[in-house]
């Protein structure tokens, strides 16, 4: 039986109907004429976005898509991709935002691994794949708008799956992280609360919807009834121009993009509308934090840490950015962060341990991968005696330490700590010294085997405009002990990125081995 509805109860309390589609459906009623998404010259109001979502939901319903079935989205980031996502959720389906930069082989893996029933795309998107797509999924082309329809989201509970996020696959094939409706609500509410988002905000969308951080800009925009400003250009001067012309008030970035923007005079100039800047996806070098604060002192800077498996874990309040620019802060509202030693006790202040996250943003696990799920999603080792073993916490694999005031500091990946000359070295610590030299714009640390050292440290850098390789070497020789000094420094015109905008260390290793 069709689930098409004659009317939509837009005022339903999502606490009793937590289908995350209500993030859009309820906002359509309150802010129908307000711009939801600005994409160049195209401005889509909430009413128009709601019509896109209802059209998608009705069409999927006519295809027999039932709750729990997976539906892929291969569309350019913007209003159509946003409407498709919420339309899928309205049917109870599980949405998969496929990164638009992927080629046919990677798209086929995502569709096959997830068992996607349908793929929503366009003829243009398919033409960019390099060859024809081989898939058992029903391919629905959205080259023309779907017929108008009215559709009410089906009932879901918070634990029901809503989305699969495929990781960037820096090691082997990507895994799918299964996100619940409750996760989406909790993540959007937490971030909107601690960053102080407002209904009239204009939030920049510079990162893919397939990346959890990029996707959260869509969620928080819908939650607040704000406006999402889409910019797809990879060129920092173009981004800076859009920030000014579109009067962007909230700017979320990852470290490589911040570094590019800071090298752009147009960004360093006054942006009077900007009031919030946020970072995750890696640590921003201390010198860059200071440069951001100096360039835009009116904007509150939130330095954050997160992982796809738990969405967002910590944030540093802006008032602490000058005092502790190298800290990842404290737990987000509603979460608890534990720092556990190898023997599963809480680490003392100053003692290193693994960051373990518990709270409502902890995802359901890895799609169709119980072995990987069991390694990362484990019982809470600090639960009170006699408590039923029902909760799962996320072991991040990241080593951190906590100071006496409770602020956390990132040390490095447990599986990426460099063992060289008998010492354990954090690649991030080495990179931070390179940035402090003011000779480099970007820096990435990799290793290669060495019989004598165990591992040889290699620094890959993009020199600053006035940077000097000789000056960099002199600075390193003064600031780092011998065992931490790179055995070799390789200069690049640019550093490769993953599909989520992070530095791609795997690609650097492949280039070196070629």
Q: What pLDDT is stored for residue 11 in this prediction?
A: 45
Does one domain contain both 485 and 347? no
Backbone angles phi, psi at 443, to 5 degrees: -150, 140
**What integer is the mean pLDDT of 215-222?**
97
The CATH number given to whatever domain includes residue 466 is: 3.30.300.30
Among the three residues 181, 210, 241, which one is the final residue of a domain in this structure?
181
pLDDT tens digits, 127-143: 999 889 999 999 999 99
Q: Is 426 a member of any domain?
A: yes
What pLDDT is recorded for position 101? 83
Tell me the average pLDDT across 441-466.
87
**Same domain, residue pair 241 and 383:** yes
405 and 460 assigned to the same domain: no
495 and 435 in a single domain? The answer is yes
Enter the pTM of the model.
0.84
| Residue 323 pLDDT grade (very low, low, confident, very high; cuts 50, 70, 90) | very high
- 329, 441: one domain: no
Q: Does residue 71 fall inside a structural domain?
A: yes
Tell me the pLDDT tens digit for each residue of 337-379. 999 999 999 999 999 999 999 999 999 999 999 999 999 999 9
Q: What is the pLDDT of residue 506?
A: 76
In CATH, what number is assigned to the domain containing residue 390? 3.40.50.12780
Q: Based on the fold, state whether residues 391 and 260 are members of the same structural domain.
A: yes
> Looking at the 3D structure of the chain, how many domains does it have?
3
Q: Same structural domain for residues 423 and 466?
A: yes
Shared domain check, 422 and 279: no
Write out the residue range of the structural domain in which residue 312 sits. Answer: 233-412
Is there a domain that residue 204 lies in? no
* pLDDT (mean) for 8-17: 45
| 473, containing H or E segment | helix 469-479
| Residue 6 lies inside a defined structural domain of this protein | no
- Co-location of 279 and 375 in the same domain: yes
223 lies in a domain? no
List the Cα angle 446/448/452 in 5-degree steps.
130
Residues 383 and 438 placed together within one structural domain of the fold: no
Q: Are 282 and 253 in contact (CB under 8 A)?
A: no
Asked if the structure places residue 166 within a domain, the reply is yes
Write the burial class of residue 381 (CB in 10 Å: 0-12 exposed, 13-18 middle, 19+ buried). middle
Measure the CA–CA gap between 203 and 217, rounded to whole angstroms.
Answer: 7
Structure letter (DSSP) for residue 178: E
Domain-embedded: residue 207: no
339 shares its domain with 389: yes
| pLDDT above 90: residue 110 | yes
User: What is the dihedral sign for C-alpha 479, 484, 487, 492?
Assistant: negative
Count helices and strands in the chain by DSSP H and E runs:
15, 26
Q: Is the pLDDT of residue 385 over 60?
A: yes
Of 86, 29, 28, 78, the residue nearest 57 (C-alpha): 86
Q: Which pLDDT value is given to residue 172?
A: 54
The C-alpha atoms of residue 342 and residue 147 are separated, in whole angstroms, by 58
Separation of alpha carbons 136 and 381, rounded Å: 43
**Do both 251 and 342 map to the same domain?**
yes
């Amino acid at each position: 039986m069709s689930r098409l509805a004659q009317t939509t109860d837009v005022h339903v309390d999502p606490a009793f109907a937590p289908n995350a589609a209500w993030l859009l459906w309820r906002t359509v009623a309150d802010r129908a004429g307000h711009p939801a998404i600005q994409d160049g010259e195209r401005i889509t109001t909430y009413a128009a976005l709601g019509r896109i979502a209802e059209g998608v939901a009705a069409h999927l319903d006519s295809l027999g898509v039932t709750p729990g079935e997976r539906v892929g989205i291969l569309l350019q980031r913007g209003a159509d991709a946003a409407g498709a996502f919420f339309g899928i959720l309205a049917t109870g389906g599980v949405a998969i935002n496929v990164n638009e930069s992927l080629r046919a082989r990677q798209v086929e893996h995502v569709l096959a691994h997830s068992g996607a029933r349908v793929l929503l795309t366009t003829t243009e998107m398919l033409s960019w794949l390099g060859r024809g797509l081989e898939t058992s999924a029903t391919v629905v082309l959205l080259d023309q708008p779907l017929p108008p329809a009215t559709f009410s989201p089906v009932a879901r509970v918070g634990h029901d799956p809503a989305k699969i996020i495929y990781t960037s696959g820096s090691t082997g094939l990507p895994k799918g992280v299964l996100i619940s409706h409750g996760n989406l609500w909790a993540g959007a509410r937490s971030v909107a609360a601690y960053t102080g988002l407002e209904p009239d905000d204009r939030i920049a969308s510079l990162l893919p919807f397939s990346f959890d951080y990029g996707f959260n800009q869509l969620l928080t925009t819908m939650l607040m009834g704000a406006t999402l400003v889409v910019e797809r250009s990879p060129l920092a001067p173009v981004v800076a121009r859009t920030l000014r012309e579109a009067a962007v008030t909230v700017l979320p970035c990852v470290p490589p993009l911040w570094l590019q923007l800071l090298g752009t005079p147009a960004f360093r100039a006054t942006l009077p509308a900007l009031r919030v800047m946020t970072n995750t996806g890696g640590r921003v070098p201390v010198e860059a934090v200071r440069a951001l604060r100096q360039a835009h002192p009116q904007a509150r800077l939130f330095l954050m840490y997160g992982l796809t498996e738990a969405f967002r874990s910590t944030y540093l309040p802006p008032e602490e950015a000058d005092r502790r620019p190298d800290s990842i802060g404290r737990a987000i509202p509603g979460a608890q962060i534990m720092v556990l030693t190898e023997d599963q006790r809480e680490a003392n202040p100053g003692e290193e341990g693994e960051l373990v996250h518990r709270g409502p943003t902890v995802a359901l696990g890895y799609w169709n991968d119980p072995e990987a799920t069991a390694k990362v999603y484990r019982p809470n080792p600090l639960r009170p005696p006699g408590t039923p073993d029902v909760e799962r916490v996320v072991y991040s694999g990241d080593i951190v330490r906590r100071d006496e005031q409770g602020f956390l500091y990132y040390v490095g990946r447990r599986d990426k700590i460099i063992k060289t000359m008998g010492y354990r070295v954090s690649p991030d610590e080495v990179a931070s010294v390179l940035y402090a030299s003011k000779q480099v714009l970007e820096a990435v640390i990799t290793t290669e085997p060495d019989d004598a050292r165990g591992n040889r440290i290699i620094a890959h850098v993009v020199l600053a405009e006035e940077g000097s390789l000789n000056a960099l070497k002199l600075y390193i020789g003064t600031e780092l002990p011998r065992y931490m000094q790179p055995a070799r420094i390789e200069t690049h015109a640019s550093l490769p990125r993953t599909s989520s905008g992070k530095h791609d260390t795997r690609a650097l290793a492949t280039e070196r081995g070629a």
